[in-house]
Amino acid sequence: MTDEFGVWLYAVTRAADAAADSGSMTGVAGERVCTVVSDVLAAFVGSVPLAVFGEQPLRRNLEDLDWLAATARAHDAVVSALVRRGPTVPLRLATVFLDDERVRELLDARRADFVAALTLVTGRTEWGVKAYTDRAALTAAVADARSSMGAEKGRGTAYLARRRAELSAQATVERDAAERAEQIHASLVRHSAAGRRQAATDPALSGRRDWMVLNGTYLVDDDRADDFAATVRELGEELPGIRLEITGPWPPYSFAGVDQEPI
Position 203 scores a pLDDT of 64
Contacts of 171 (CB under 8 A, 6+ apart): none
Q: Which of these, 252, 134, 240, lies nearest to 196 by C-alpha position?
A: 252
CA 164 to chain centre: 40
For the chain (263 residues), the mean pLDDT of every run of 10, in chain order, is 81 85 82 94 95 92 93 95 93 92 95 94 96 72 54 51 49 74 94 92 67 93 96 88 91 79 45
For residue 241, give the 3-state DSSP assignment. Answer: coil
Residue (of 245, 246, 171) closest to 210 by Cα position:
245
pLDDT of residue 256: 83
pLDDT of 241: 76
Q: Whole-angstrom Cα distance, residue 94 to residue 173? A: 39
The per-residue pLDDT for 176 is 76
